[in-house]
Amino acid sequence: MQLHAAKDIQNGQGSRQTAADPAAHSSSPELEGVVRFLQEIMAEIDTALDPSTPNPHLNMVLHLLRCHLEGRSVSPSSIVSASGVPYATATRKLADIQAAGLVEQRPRTKTGKTYSLHPSQKLMDGFHQMADRIDRIARTTFAGADLARDDADYYFGGTYQPGQAMIPPPTALPQPLKLAGGLRILVHADPTFMIMDSLKRQFEQMVGTDIHQRAFSIDRLHEEALRNAARSKSRYDLIAVDLPWIGEFVERGVIQPLPDVMDLDRLDPADFHTAGWRAAHWGGTPYGVPSQTTPELMFYRKDWFKDAGLEPPTTTAAVIDAARHFHDPQKGRYGVAWNAARGTALGHTFIMTCAAFGQPVIDIPEIAGGFDADHLQGTFRATIDTDRALAAADYLMQLLEFSPPDILSMSWYERVRPYAAGHVAMAYGYTLLAPYFELDPSCSAHGNTGYLPHPHGPQGVPIAPVGGYAFCIPKNLSENRLHDATEALIAFTSPAAQKLYAQNGSRTAPRYSVGSDPEVRRLSNIFETVDQMSWRDELQFWPRPPIPQISDLIAICGFELHDMLRGLVTPRDALARAQARADELLRQPVT
């Protein structure tokens, strides 16, 4: 996996590297492997046997596919050259595959006289199916009877079962985007968006224009999005919006409603995880398209728990018991890691922990399956100084006893690093952080991690608070850029693009179709686990209700509770102070 930092990252901390950094894969390993295999076989046959006759149709198709998968442009002259036959013959053969609908032309100039060639959707679909068959034939031939179960399932109709269809790689847009200066995107500096940057060449081939991506830390991303909204014209065509910011950004006129600029059916809304799609709405209207849905889960060491004879920690009481059992500072081993850094990081931890104890952070009504976060227009009161919130605060104080010594400065990435290295038995973490140990065989946690919803308190239920980002269109985007920005939005959130992120290291999949793709499921059990949580209605976005004041509310909790963890105030006093500040905040109009 390559998680290279974007060239324009400005998060004040420099680029972040993951523990693992093997070479990135630009496409499905099966498809790319079969293309390379066939090219080498054809070259071997053409040179080893005499006489032999080249197969220009296949040679040109293989050249076209390989260049597409590697993000390289194909001109008519280059594909003719790859045919292996004289120019006049190759030109006729090229016309044949174009007439068959296997090749698409995309103009490179305004006149259209110069154009590039790209595989059509028909070619991608057909070759993807053939590649799977060739791969199975080769393994059956050379592996003999040692077929894996998924191979056997293929012959008994396994790949034709619902939810088992493979998603082919992305294809180039029929018309290149015509955006002066290229496509401009504002994103968060997290692993999934950094994967997008590492695939920049492939996506530029797909959309037909340069891509300029700027990445910021979460707080600076929020500031830059608001600063951009104050400009007369947006500097960005797309911006990544943290799901809890949706209400604030709508009320402040930062983003525009999707139905005003596009046909929603093109997105296939039913394919998105329900909680992620609903979280991108405000007042019943969608304002963004989920680009990553990443619930926060409990990571735990399956091997440690098995050796100790302990069950997975599904309750907060079990977490404390397990943390106490594994905590051994003299041996460099600690019970649990979590977000305890002052401000935004701890604020998220607190309100999610409150949710695990059955307490939302504002007085939203209880409904079947949780609390109603779909109807948030109106006035709310904070519910921080309550008995359930006090139980959540006491739980955090207990966690403190079994945490690493630097826990009070530990935030998003820092909590996962000691877990990956084998110093921590459990860690709260978003799925987007799982690549730090899933893709690094040298990590102690590699292959030994189990995933659970948030362990719950006595009056709570299992929930997996939904995090992640939605791509949104700025409200002040120039009219002449609006159409192409919308096309880019659809392309970057398509099943094919989301699958490509997963194949290159992402552990977020906002669409059911991506999570159920057989090739994606083979990468990690995290995709099936999250899908199951969604079907069980455990994925919830009400723990961070997207009211306009949520960012400030989170910050208040993060500052006041930090004083509690430092021992400066009691839990009850910290909650009272946070409640008073939150009440004052919620009385102020949104400006």
Q: Is the pLDDT of residue 306 over 70?
A: yes
Same fold, 183-293+467-530 and 295-465+539-587: yes
* pLDDT tens sequence across 539-570: 999 999 999 999 999 999 999 999 999 999 99
* Amino acid, res. 578: A
What's the CATH code, domain 295-465+539-587?
Answer: 3.40.190.10
Q: Is the pLDDT of residue 102 over 80?
A: yes
Decide yes or no: CATH 3.40.30.10 for domain 29-160.
no
pLDDT higher for 469 or 46?
469
| H/E stretch holding 428 | strand 424-430
* pLDDT tens sequence across 54-85: 888 888 888 888 887 776 778 888 888 888 88
Residue 157's pLDDT is 36
Confidence grade of residue 30 (pLDDT, cut at 50, 70, 90):
low
Residue 144's pLDDT is 55
Q: Is the pLDDT of residue 159 over 60?
A: no
Residue 269's pLDDT is 94
Helices (H), 167-280: 191-198, 200-207, 218-229, 246-251, 274-279
The residue-averaged pLDDT of 242-254 equals 95
On the question of a cis peptide bond just before residue 51, with omega within 30 degrees of 0, the verdict is yes
Average confidence score pLDDT of the chain? 87
Residue 24's pLDDT is 37
Q: Is the pLDDT of residue 50 over 90?
A: no
The residue-averaged pLDDT of 416-444 equals 95
Task: Decide: helix, strand or coil at residue 190.
Answer: coil
Alpha-carbon dihedral 63, 203, 21, 306, rounded to 10 degrees: -100
Q: Cα(46)–Cα(548) distance, rounded to whole angstroms? A: 66
The residue-averaged pLDDT of 186-192 equals 89
Domain ranges of the chain: 29-160, 183-293+467-530, 295-465+539-587
Residue 39's pLDDT is 77
Q: Cα(7)–Cα(27) distance, rounded to whole angstroms? A: 23
Q: What percent of the chain has pLDDT over 70?
A: 90
* pLDDT tens sequence across 523-542: 999 999 999 999 899 999 99
Confidence grade of residue 454 (pLDDT, cut at 50, 70, 90):
very high
Q: Cα(26)–Cα(205) distance, rounded to whole angstroms? A: 13
Q: Is the pLDDT of residue 453 over 80?
A: yes
Q: Is 567 exposed, middle or buried (0-12, 13-18, 19+ CB in 10 A)?
A: exposed
Q: What percent of the chain has pLDDT over 90?
A: 62
Is residue 212 within 8 Å of residue 7, measured between CB atoms? no
Residue 69's pLDDT is 75
The residue-averaged pLDDT of 180-202 equals 90
Residue 16's pLDDT is 36
| H/E stretch holding 349 | helix 344-356
Provide the CATH topology of domain 183-293+467-530.
D-Maltodextrin-Binding Protein; domain 2 (3.40.190)
- Strands (E) located in 347-403: 366-367, 370-371
Q: Is the pLDDT of residue 350 over 90?
A: yes
